[in-house]
Every structure is written in structure tokens, then in C-alpha cells.
């Protein structure tokens, strides 16, 4: 066996899983592998049957690869599973595209980040490196736990001002018989009287918690597709599950966290702007409509009455989010009859 054959064998498994006539992925011919500096990394976001991020480190002429279902952990407090996968050819570092359904890894692949890395340690069970990318930088370690299963741990503190998603109880309105006097200082929404629930989106996965903090995700699997399009962007939404014509829908009314940023102290109007920018309007999740300005409160209340909705919520435009509090910044006004 010559040296070239030995090196080419590194991609045997890769080639065996792919038909070059059916996938747009690079399938280089057998032969001498390119010789690099073992310092390039790429992370690809792969919307396959199950969303994951593929971390690939250039090493010995191939990309040594791990599939990470929840992505690179932003915080040393939480390690993520990283499943070791077959070595990929160096050419794969620039690959983005659509792998046809039915083919191995079928789905959309995009480059999430790429850059250089320094190896601090490399063995069969532990890889310690410093990543220098545009989205992720810092010291990380991959360590093997069992078979193909490894974990990835961030060794550096979280980047910049990153904060973890808050776990809070919902803010509650006070009940009033009349609409507020200072009408232009409020926005008006329908009250739905649904099941209040906070939705945390992380790594394209959803966790739904009741107002008491109970995990109710399993009872609401229908809402899981809301999370995947956000990819690695982490969010905490306030909202409620409402039944419409027998179909359950999640109505979003507030945004409490966005990708490392806690928004609780932001005024409602800022949070509302950021919530709207998320364009949450799927078949089974919607952003609650909201109106501002003189006279709107009365119209929204009338519309609520006409549609048989229980009432109106008046929300102070400048109010922060007060978790677990019954706050006069939010007023529930029954629609009356």
C-alpha cells in the first residue's frame, strides 16, 4: 500500500454514502489529498431530516466532522452533543446547496461560519482548539463520551454581553371596567383567554412552558415547526395557545429575549417592533394584532365584542416587562355587552 492509497482511504466512507450523479456535494476522485495547514474550519447549518450543525476541522487532508444537533454552545455552562461523522473532503468547506430528498443528508445546507483554528490538543478522544470565525470565536473542547458520541464544551466565557435566555413567569394585567384615560400612551390588543405559554426557541428547538413554569412541549408538538426556521437564533416569546375552529394556534404577543439579549427592561414599543420583525405568521402561529392611537381602544373593544372575544388588553407603550407581576401597565378590559 503506497502512501497515497492510505490517505485516499480516509474518504472511503464518504464516497460510499454518496452517488456523484445524484448529489451536488463534491465527490473528489480517489488520489492524493490536498495538503493544507490544518487550520481551516467550517460550520454548516444542515436542515436535514433533523436540524443540526456540522463542525468540520481540516486535518491531514480531510475535514474531520461532527454533527451537533443544538449547534455550538454559546455558554460554558451547557455542553452539547456532537456526533462524530465520516471525514469529508476539503472541497466540502465551501459547499452550500440543496441535497436532494432521499439522498444521504437530504436537505438544505448553508455555511453558518468559517475561519481558522488553532489546535491545542488532538487525540482519539479529545480535541481542544481555538476557533477564529465571524460568528463563533474562542476556546472549545470536543471530548468523546461513548462510541460516536462526543460532547462539545465552550471553555471561554460567553462572548461579549451574551446572556442566557431568562426563565420567567408571565406578566399579568390588572382588570379594569373602563379603557385607560391616557389613551395615546397605550396600545390595544385583543384578549384571547387562551392557555398562557412562554416559548423558548434554541438551536431550532422549541420548549413551551405554562404560566406556572411546567414544560408542556410534548402536548404541543404541532408548534415545533415554528422553531426550526430560526436556526441558531435563540428567542423567548410570550403568548398563548388559542383554539380556533377546533385547531390550536399559538398567538405571540411579546418578545423577551433575542439571541443573547434580554429584553425585559426594554419599553413595550421596542419589544413589539422586534416581535413584528420576526414575521411570526405561520398557519399555526401568529403575531397578535395591535393598534395605537386615539380612539383605537374603543374600536378594538367593539371589534372584540362583535367577534365574541372576552376583551381588550391595553398596554403602556413605555412599560418594561414585569415577570410574574400583576401590573397596571397592562389593563384587561372586558368587552362587555
Q: Which residues bind Mn ion (CB under 5 A)?
A: 46, 54
Which CB atom, from 66 or from 190, has the smaller least distance to Mn ion?
66
Cα–Cα dist 319/328, whole Å = 10
* Smallest separation, CB 102 to Mn ion (Å): 15
Which CB atom, from 46 or from 196, has the smaller least distance to Mn ion?
46
* Smallest separation, CB 90 to Mn ion (Å): 17
Which CB atom, from 23 or from 327, has the smaller least distance to Mn ion?
23
* Smallest separation, CB 106 to Mn ion (Å): 10
Which CB atom, from 110 or from 167, has the smaller least distance to Mn ion?
110
* Smallest separation, CB 35 to Mn ion (Å): 25
Cα–Cα dist 80/95, whole Å = 24
Other C-beta atoms closer than 10 Å to the C-beta of 318 total 12
Which CB atom, from 55 or from 191, has the smaller least distance to Mn ion?
55
* Smallest separation, CB 52 to Mn ion (Å): 6
Other C-beta atoms closer than 10 Å to the C-beta of 157 total 10
* Smallest separation, CB 46 to Mn ion (Å): 4
Cα–Cα dist 99/97, whole Å = 6
Residue 170 burial by CB count (10 A; 0-12/13-18/19+): exposed, middle or buried? Answer: buried
The three cell numbers locating residue 14? 464518504
* Smallest separation, CB 82 to Mn ion (Å): 12
Which CB atom, from 52 or from 315, has the smaller least distance to Mn ion?
52
Tell me the residue number closest to Mn ion, measured at CB.
46
Other C-beta atoms closer than 10 Å to the C-beta of 34 total 11
Cα–Cα dist 255/273, whole Å = 9
Strand pairing report for 186-191 and 261-262: unpaired
Which CB atom, from 45 or from 238, has the smaller least distance to Mn ion?
45
Cα–Cα dist 115/55, whole Å = 12
* Smallest separation, CB 49 to Mn ion (Å): 10
Q: How far apart are the first and last CA of the chain?
A: 88
Which CB atom, from 51 or from 275, has the smaller least distance to Mn ion?
51
Amino acid at each position: 500500500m503506497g502512501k497515497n492509497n492510505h490517505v485516499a482511504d480516509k474518504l472511503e466512507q464518504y464516497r460510499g454514502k454518496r452517488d456523484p450523479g445524484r448529489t451536488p456535494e463534491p465527490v473528489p476522485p480517489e488520489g492524493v489529498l490536498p495538503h493544507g495547514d490544518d487550520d481551516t474550519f467550517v460550520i454548516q447549518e444542515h436542515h436535514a431530516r433533523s436540524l443540526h450543525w456540522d463542525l468540520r476541522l481540516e486535518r491531514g487532508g480531510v475535514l474531520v466532522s461532527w454533527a451537533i444537533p443544538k449547534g455550538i454552545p454559546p455558554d460554558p455552562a451547557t455542553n452539547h452533543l456532537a456526533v462524530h461523522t465520516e471525514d469529508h473532503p476539503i472541497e466540502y468547506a465551501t459547499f452550500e446547496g440543496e441535497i436532494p430528498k432521499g439522498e444521504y443528508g437530504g436537505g438544505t445546507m448553508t455555511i453558518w461560519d468559517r475561519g481558522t483554528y488553532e489546535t491545542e490538543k488532538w487525540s482519539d478522544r479529545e480535541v481542544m482548539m481555538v476557533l477564529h470565525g465571524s460568528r463563533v470565536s474562542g476556546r472549545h473542547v470536543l471530548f468523546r463520551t461513548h462510541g460516536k458520541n462526543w460532547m462539545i464544551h465552550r471553555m471561554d466565557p460567553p462572548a461579549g454581553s451574551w446572556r442566557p435566555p431568562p426563565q420567567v413567569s408571565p406578566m399579568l394585567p390588572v382588570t379594569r371596567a373602563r379603557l385607560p384615560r391616557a389613551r395615546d400612551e397605550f396600545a390595544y390588543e385583543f384578549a384571547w383567554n387562551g392557555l398562557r405559554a412562554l416559548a423558548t426557541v434554541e438551536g431550532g428547538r422549541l420548549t413551551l412552558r405554562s404560566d406556572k413554569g411546567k414544560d408542556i412541549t410534548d402536548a404541543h408538538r404541532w408548534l415545533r415547526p415554528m422553531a426550526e426556521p430560526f436556526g441558531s437564533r435563540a428567542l423567548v416569546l410570550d403568548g398563548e395557545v388559542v383554539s380556533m375552529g377546533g385547531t390550536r394556534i399559538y398567538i405571540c404577543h411579546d418578545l423577551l429575549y433575542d439571541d443573547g439579549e434580554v429584553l425585559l427592561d426594554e419599553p413595550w414599543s421596542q419589544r413589539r417592533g422586534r416581535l413584528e420583525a420576526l414575521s411570526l405568521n405561520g398557519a399555526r402561529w401568529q403575531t397578535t394584532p395591535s393598534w395605537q392611537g386615539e380612539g383605537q381602544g374603543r374600536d378594538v373593544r367593539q371589534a372584540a365584542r362583535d367577534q365574541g372575544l372576552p376583551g381588550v388588553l391595553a398596554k403602556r407603550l413605555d412599560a418594561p416587562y414585569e415577570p410574574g407581576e400583576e401590573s397596571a401597565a397592562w389593563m384587561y378590559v372586558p368587552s362587555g355587552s
